[in-house]
Amino acid sequence: MSEKKKKVGVFTFTCDEGCSIYMIEIFNKKLIEWLEKMDLEYFLSMKDRRDATEFDIAIVEGAITTERDLHEIKKVREMSKILIGMGNCTITGMPTCQRNNFTPEQTEAIKDDLEKFDFLEKCLPVKEVVHMDDEVPGCPMDEKKFIEVLEKYL
């Protein structure tokens, strides 16, 4: 009898989505092998399925910049047994959180946009908002480390 497949979801917050693009490149090499161990339940860059409500593994990229992001990352954490942060934005917030280092004058210049789009006062790495079980550094993420981390949980 084969082992039950892991339900995997990939979620993107505020970023350039470079890690997701890179992950798709890694999938070109590894997905067939991984599909024996996982079902990719949620990944809007590859499929338009939005009904999954629990995951064995959630992979997240990006930083938390809006009230909506804040609500969503907490929801993803609640729905997931394992949460893996991919890329520096999830770990350190950079480069996405550069506005945290703006001068008061620079912040004032973008004040209307910050209010219009319901931005948080400070941009946050995922790691500061919810517990991450593992992380893959890099911008984009490190391929070997991503494979190592994902295979550890599969």
Hey, where are the domains in the chain?
6-153
Give Cα 124 to chain centroid, integer Å: 13
pTM of the model: 0.90
Instruction: Collect all residues with Cβ–Cβ distance below 8 Å to 150 and sequence separation of at least 6.
Output: 34, 57, 59, 84
Task: Tell me what pLDDT residue 46 has.
Answer: 62
Calculate the alpha carbon distances from 88 to 20, 56, 103 in Å. 13, 23, 23
Residue 50: what pLDDT? 64
Task: Report the pLDDT value the prediction gives residue 45, as an integer from 0 to 100.
Answer: 64
Q: With a cut of 70, list the residues of the chain below it in pLDDT.
A: 1-2, 45-52
Helix runs in the chain, H state only: 18-34, 67-79, 88-91, 104-109, 111-116, 126-129, 143-153
| pLDDT score of 143 | 94
Q: Which fold has domain 6-153?
A: Rossmann fold (3.40.50)
Instruction: Output the pLDDT for position 25.
Output: 92
